Amino acid sequence: MENTNKRYWKGIEELKNDISVVKNADKEFNLEGLEGGTYRRDFLKMLGFGVAAVSLAACNAPVRHTIPYLNKPEDIEPGIPNYYASTFAQAGSYCSILVKTREGRPVKIEGNKLSGVTKGGVAAHVHASLLSLYDNERSKEPTKGGKKTTWAELDKEVSAALASSTNIRVVSNTILSPSTKSVLADFASKYPSAKHVTYDSNSASALIEANGTSFGKAVIPSYLFNKANVIVGINCDFLGTWLSPIEHSAQWAETRRLSSAKGGKKTMSRHYQFETGMSMTGANADYRGMFKPSQEGAFVANLYNRIAAIMGVGSQLSVAKADFENIDKCAKDLVAAKGASLVVSGSNNVAVQTIVNGINSLLGNLGNTIDFGTTVNYKQGNDAAMNQFVAELKSGAVDAVIFLDSNPVYDHLLGADIAEGLKKSKLSVAIADRANETASLCTYLALNTHYLESWGDASPKAGYYSLTQPVISNIFNSRQGESSLLAWAGKSSDYQAYVKNVWTSSILNGKTWIQALHDGVYESPNATVLGASFSGNLAEAAAKVSSVKSSGIELLVFENVTIGTGIQANNPWLQETPDPVSKVTWENTAAFSQKTAADLGLEVGDWVNLTIGANTVELPILIQPGQANDTVTVAMGYGRTAAGKAGNVGVAMLPLLKGSATASNLWVGGAKIEKTKSGYTLAQTQTHETYMGREAVVQESVLSEYVKNSKAGRFEPMIATSDGLKKPYSITLWNGHEKKNHSWGMVIDLNTCTGCAACVVSCQAENNVSVVGKAEVARAREMHWIRIDRYYSSDAPEEEGYSVAGYKAMETASANPEVVFQPLMCQHCSNAPCETVCPVLATTHSSEGLNQMTYNRCVGTRYCANNCPYKVRRFNWFKYFENDNFDFHFNNELGRMVINPDVTVRSRGVIEKCSMCVQRIQAGKLTAKKEKRRPVDGEIETACSQSCPTNAITFGDMLDPESRVSKLLVQEEEGRRFQLLEEINVIPQVNYLVKIRNKDGVKKAEAVAHTDHSEHAGH
């Protein structure tokens, strides 16, 4: 272009040299319009900073709040546990406990040895109740119509509604608490129309009624199993669920304990059990017979007739003579043990209980093994009163109803009627811990506390009292039921003062409140055992039992040991605890005998439709040895719909019984079974049923042999050497471990272990054992550190063993098998196979005889688990905490509060196993050291040994000659002591005592007679 003065301009502003143009002259683009936006460079800067900041933030460990005490509470030392005596009393289930708290947080429940009732024993569901405290699915607030409300508002509205009501009902399960009853009385005095209705899901109403007619005392007496030489349980799971199982277990075990010492106790009770399904109690019986639910009456009447005939007293009841396996033998033994025998029935049928009363009267047991001097309060439910309430509710006659910690819509036979009737009641209040099946239908939810947040008391038996005290302040905006009732009654809702007042005025009798609170119990028992005179109408009862008609397959609903009636269903510990007998977790099953299953064409892994009338449920089947033919038994307590994630599993059974004449006795005839699908794997922790004749695993004998030879049943392998036969221990490659100070060991008495699984849950709580859920249990990956192996006997003659057919025969359990329970934890082998194979020395031997596991050293090759002959090592297949795939208590902050701070929570990829509660050993040693003394025997207890209701597990220092363990070992050295798999010479620290059954002969000799009987039993 030529040189010219021609000028181009962009706009008039530039031409005029406008100020804005001059200002932006150095900028290529006019960004005025973008002012306030993000420029490229700024964006990059911010991006860079952001990335850096985020990555820096990611580098920091997540913040975990540890809040130090500003003012340290008195009595709380960080790291030192405090123990408080308290009481578990839930729907009549009772246990006196100690609660271990750490920094104000309850972390473990132990037995209270001061209690004369439970004597330091704890049941599985009591241990597990700790976790229910930290249940994230409890409601957080009181509600009205499902919406959050305040207590003030709720109190105002409920009080107003109550004041205008004319027919008030308070519905509860059995209440053991004198103070609660006093509160109810106060409530009734404010609202005169208020009536208290008590029901029990698994009712003993008929027992009370029968006692009323038989003895003129409508109460339940104490049963003294420890004074009985012959014990007969008739559909009565007295070791597992009936009335007071912890107490009964201890009494029963007293009669089963033996001593191999010279002049030691060589007698034991003989236990007969007659039942439909295989209960835990039946599994512990010496002789067992089976009947269908419809034959229950016929059975007791026949037993009565046989006893009467042998004794030559009383008149024969007019019932058809029927044969049952072992009934004749039972009658003979009962008569021989007159006055020192005991017949108990779990039936909820008045006629049956009347005949049982007749039997006990005939045998002179009243006043000997049955004590009316100390009556028990475990079951107070009154079926008639409850039925009347339901009728009134349905008719609309009840205008206000309060459910005090009860859930009848789910756990009462007439639940559906109650649900319907509730619509007609003007006021409905549920005092519950969550919007459960009943509470969700009520207008108001007066949020209840957990018992560990509450004050309370209990009187399980006449003369026995115990206190409940809070060990943590209320986690949610809850208020305990009694306070609510007091508030509505217009009284001070300070329940602590109320309880104290009740105790000081009418219970303590001069003793101090502080002492009672410290001990947890106050007892002034009636020492004299009282009898009663029988005046029942046996003829009428006999007529009633003869008239029972039934056809087809009979369904019996029972209460199992773990889930019970389903109150604590939403408890992952309980759900994952295997049923003691079936070893099934996380669901209920339809149990059939082998023969019935074969008749119906059912196989393991099938599901069936179980139809009663118009109702059908679908269930997986279980083939249960020891089940009566043509029956199906299913556990109650499952199939909840509003319990929570863990609890809403399985199938609810009570609705199926509705409308049947025999429903109150929990059975019904005419069940239709139809196979629906197959190939299902039950979440069972044990799938093989027999011990394959392996005497190095289970050693057992019978009393008659044991009396002759205290080593009866012992299997003593010998190893052939050039110097002749030698004991395995005498030949070894190893130098052994020097134990200079302690040698911790155990003795487990197979004779007194009932298989109740209390130790399993106790261990789970103590050692932070993960819950893995149904799918993982089905894959055989449960994490329990202690398990209870349950073996059935088989009919195979042993000599057939070493052939293919022989082994197959040994795999099949008998139709009515003998059962043995064997608790198994790490055996702490002195020559431990696991220790030699670990490449990184993650598992080593301590100088105190413990096989110890170093989690943070473990790389997870699982070689140790493979090489463990006892298969007690557990591998963390996944990360079981803070993992949505395992949405149990370890996956929420509240649930994790249950973690024992003394025990590491294991990470993914490491092996774990029983440590013999090394944290307790260390704590005990430390206490002793500080006091400059040696630990005293009994001071240190493992979680399992501490909780055992029968003291079947004894723990202690084997180097201390005064310890119970040492004494037991000396006593049984030439007797029942054995170690598992002795011949492989691993030398466990855990010893077992041979199981002795009180039978006439060893099983093989009886096999013939046994098959003869079983043919009759089916009629």
Our CB check for another protein shows the closer of 213 and 907 to be 907
Residue 604 touching another protein (CB under 8 A): no
Sign of torsion, CA 764 769 774 779? negative
871 touching another protein, by CB under 8 A: yes
Q: How far is the CB of 784 from another protein (least distance, A)?
A: 10
Residues 810-849 that bind another protein (CB under 8 A): 822, 824, 833, 836-841
Stretch that binds another protein, among 141-149, 476-484, 686-694, 993-1001 (CB under 8 A): 686-694
Burial class from Cβ neighbours inside 10 Å (0-12, 13-18, 19+) for residue 677 reads exposed
Closer residue to another protein (CB): 361 or 770: 770
- Residue 126: half-sphere exposure toward Cβ, Cα within 13 Å: 32
Residue from 150, 189, 616, 687 touching another protein (CB under 8 A): that is 687
3-state secondary structure 887-933: CCHHHCCCHHHHCCCCCCCCCCCCEECCCCCHHHHHHHHHHHHHCCC
∠ CA 15-20-26, rounded to 5°: 90
* Burial environment of residue 909 by CB neighbours within 10 A (0 to 12, 13 to 18, 19 or more): middle
Q: Does the protein bind another protein through residue 874 (CB under 8 A)?
A: yes
**Minimum CB distance to another protein, residue 753 (Å):** 14
The answer to whether residue 22 forms part of the interface with another protein (CB under 8 A) is no
Closest approach of Cβ 593 to another protein, in Å?
22
Closest CA to 502 of 191, 186, 192, 88: 186
Provide CB contacts within 8 A for 719, sequence distance 6+: 725, 726, 727, 728, 731, 983
Near another protein in 932-991, by CB under 8 A: 980-981, 984, 986
592's enclosing H/E stretch is strand 590-592
Least distance in Å: CB of 245 to another protein?
24
SS3 109: strand
Helix (H) or strand (E) holding 83: strand 82-90
Cβ within 8 Å of residue 6, ≥6 positions away: none
Segment interacting with another protein, rule: CB under 8 A, options 75-83, 219-227, 668-676, 903-911: 903-911
Hey, what amino acid is at 392? E
- Minimum CB distance to another protein, residue 986 (Å): 8
Binds another protein (CB under 8 A): choice among 782, 818, 937, 982: 782
Residues 911-930 vs another protein: string with x where CB under 8 A?
Answer: x-------------------
Maximal C-alpha separation, the chain = 148
Is residue 875 near another protein by the rule CB under 8 A? yes
Residues 6+ apart with CB under 8 A from 710: 260, 266, 974, 975, 976
How many residues belong to the chain?
Answer: 1019
Interaction between residue 679 and another protein (CB under 8 A): no
Q: Is 791 in the site for another protein (CB under 8 A)?
A: yes
The residue to which tokens 């696991």 are assigned: 834
Q: Rounded to the nearest whole angstrom, what is the least distance from the CB of residue 877 to another protein in the complex?
A: 3
Closest distance between another protein and the C-beta of residue 773, in Å?
11
Instruction: Tell me which H or E stretch contains 824.
Output: strand 819-824
Nearer Cβ to another protein, position 603 or 962? 603
Residue from the set 190, 491, 694, 1003 that interacts with another protein by CB under 8 A: 694
- What DSSP letter does each residue of 871-882 carry, written as one string? ---EE--S--SS
Report whether 476 contacts 452 (CB < 8 A).
no
Taking each helix axis from N to C end, the angle separating 481-488 and 495-502, rounded to the nearest 10 degrees, works out to 90
Of the candidate spans 133-141, 606-614, 704-712, 859-867, the one that interacts with another protein by CB under 8 A turns out to be 859-867
Nearest residue (CB) to another protein, 116 versus 909: 909
Q: Which is nearer to another protein, 514 or 804 (CB)?
A: 804
Rg over alpha carbons for the chain, rounded to the nearest Å, is: 33
Binding segment toward another protein, per CB under 8 A, in 179-187, 396-404, 747-755, 860-868: 860-868
| Rounded CA separation 46/40 (Å) | 10
Contacts 24+ apart (CB under 8 A), 27-31: none
Is 858 a residue that touches another protein (CB under 8 A)?
Answer: yes
Pairing mode of beta strands 521-523, 464-468: antiparallel
Cα 239 from Cα 949, distance rounded (Å): 10
Taking each continuous run of H as one helix and of E as one strand, the counts in the chain are 32, 39
29 contacts another protein (rule: CB under 8 A): no
CA distance 269 to 364: 17
Q: Which is nearer to another protein, 206 or 910 (CB)?
A: 910
Q: How far is the CB of 796 from another protein (least distance, A)?
A: 13
Phi, psi at residue 204, to the nearest 5°?
-115, 25
Residue 888 sits in the site that holds another protein (CB under 8 A): no
Please select the residue that binds another protein; options are 189, 678, 866, 922, rule is CB under 8 A: 866
Three-state DSSP state, 186 = helix
CA neighbours within 13 Å on the CB side: how many for 380?
A: 22
Site membership for another protein, residue 863 (CB under 8 A): yes
Q: Is 865 in the site for another protein (CB under 8 A)?
A: yes
Interface pick for another protein out of 672, 908, 933, 1016 (rule CB under 8 A): 908
Q: Quick one: 218 or 984, whose CB is closer to another protein?
A: 984
CB of 982 to another protein, least distance (A): 12
Q: What angle do CA 131, 137, 141 make, to 5 degrees?
A: 115
Per-position x/- string for 739-778, each x denoting binding to another protein as judged by CB under 8 A, each - no binding: -------------------------------------x--
Nearer to another protein by Cβ, of 53 and 841: the residue is 841
Q: Which of 407, 414, 417, 474 is nearest to 442 (CA)?
A: 407
Size of the site for another protein (CB under 8 A): 61
Angstrom distances, CA of residue 578 to CA of 12, 572, 574, 780, 875: 91, 11, 8, 12, 19
Listed ranges 132-140, 703-711, 753-761, 783-791: which one lies at the site for another protein (CB under 8 A): 783-791
**In the complex, least distance from residue 604 CB atom to another protein, rounded to whole angstroms:** 12
Distance CA 683, CA 803 (A): 31
Assess 79 for contact with another protein (CB under 8 A).
no
715 contacts another protein (rule: CB under 8 A): no
92 half-sphere exposure, CB direction, 13 A CA radius: 25
Using the rule CB under 8 A, which residue among 659, 869, 938, 1018 binds another protein?
A: 869
- Residue 420's nearest CA partner among 732, 123, 597, 658 is 658
Cβ-based nearer residue to another protein, 202 or 876: 876
In this complex, which beta carbon is closest to another protein, that of residue 338 or of residue 781? 781
Could you tell me the smallest distance in angstroms from the CB atom of residue 160 to another protein?
Answer: 57
Which range binds another protein by CB under 8 A, 13-21, 140-148, 800-808, 954-962?
800-808
Does the footprint of another protein cover residue 867 (CB under 8 A)? Answer: yes
Binding of another protein at residue 861 (CB under 8 A)?
yes
Say how far apart CA 94 and CA 458 lie, in whole Å: 8
Distance in Å, CB of 764 to another protein, minimum: 15
Question: Tokens at residue 764, please?
Answer: 């789970």
Rounded to the nearest whole angstrom, what is the least distance from the CB of residue 36 to another protein in the complex?
Answer: 44
Q: Verify binding: residue 807, another protein, rule CB under 8 A.
A: yes
Residue whose CB is less far from another protein, 869 or 1018: 869
Token pair 């007295």: residue = 238
Q: Tokens in use for 637?
A: 């307590």
- Interface residues with another protein (CB under 8 A) are 686-688, 690-692, 694, 696-697, 776, 779-782, 787, 789-791, 801-804, 807, 822, 824, 833, 836-841, 857-863, 865-867, 869-871, 873-879, 907-911, 980-981, 984, 986
